[in-house]
Amino acid sequence: TEDLDNNFNFNTAISAIMELVNAMYAHKDKAETINSSLANELTHSLLLLLAPFVPHMTEELWHELGETTSIHTENWPVFEEAALVVDEVEVVLQVNGKVRDKLTVSVNITKEELETLAKESSRVQEFTEGKNIVKVIYVPGKLVNIVVK
């Protein structure tokens, strides 16, 4: 919405839609059963988001879903900000700048706790064993890079 409303950044808007589609596929691959109402809502939202870019195709698909009104008279999708809050993040563990492992941790984990978990990782230990740890670079919620010599 921000990409289209203020900046006319069509490429980043389309990229965000592609991220949504990828997340939909990832959810489908993980889920044992698909919630049909969720799938229906996602499909409708996806078509609404695509409508400014491919108006004729989305209009046809909209009617294929059983809708009788024009997709272009529908309200633009809105999001719930509370739904964007995450409890866990995936943190990359690096040794000398090369990815060696990944951990899923609480967003509230402290720097010290994360460094300890990183050093305890068997994949990280393979590359730090017998070497001196010179420095530990910490980027909150993103990565821990252990520099060794």
The fraction of the chain above a pLDDT of 70, given in percent, is: 100
Q: What is the pLDDT of residues 44-75, one digit of tens each?
A: 999 999 999 999 999 999 999 999 999 999 99
| Confidence (pLDDT) at 29 | 84
Domain boundaries, the chain: 2-82, 88-148
Q: Quick check: pTM over 0.75?
A: no
Coil, strand or helix: which one is 108?
A: coil
Give phi and psi for 142, each to the nearest 5. -125, -60
Strand partners, 143: 92, 139
What is the C-alpha to C-alpha distance for residues 75 and 72, in angstroms, rounded to an integer? 8
Residue pair 45/77 in contact (Cβ under 8 Å)? The answer is yes
Please give the CATH architecture assigned to the domain spanning 2-82: Orthogonal Bundle (1.10)
> What's the fold here for domain 88-148?
Ubiquitin-like (UB roll) (3.10.20)
Q: What is the pLDDT of residues 14-49, one digit of tens each?
A: 999 999 999 888 888 887 788 888 889 999 999 999
Give phi and psi for 21, each to the nearest 5. -65, -45
